[in-house]
Amino acid sequence: RALQSTRDWPESIVEEWLHFERVEGTLDSYEEALYKCRSRIKQVTAEREKAAELEPEKQQGSGSKQAQSKKGDKKQSKGRGTDNTSTEDRRSVSLKRSAPKDTELKG
Q: Which pLDDT value is given to residue 31?
A: 94
Query: Does residue 22 surpass a pLDDT of 70?
Result: yes
pLDDT value at 86 more than 90: no
Q: Where are the domains of the chain?
A: 1-61
- Tell me: the pLDDT tens digits for 32-59? 999 998 998 899 899 889 988 888 777 7
Say how far apart CA 21 and CA 39 lie, in whole Å. 17
What percentage of the chain has pLDDT greater than the value 90? 21
Higher pLDDT, 44 or 62: 44
- For the entire predicted model, the pTM comes to 0.47
What's the pLDDT at 87? Answer: 47
Residue 14: Cβ within 10 Å count: 20
What number of other Cβ atoms are within 10 A of residue 95's Cβ? 7
The C-alpha atoms of residue 12 and residue 3 are separated, in whole angstroms, by: 9
Distance CA 2, CA 17 (A): 10
Helices marked H in the chain: 2-5, 10-24, 27-61, 63-80, 85-95, 103-106
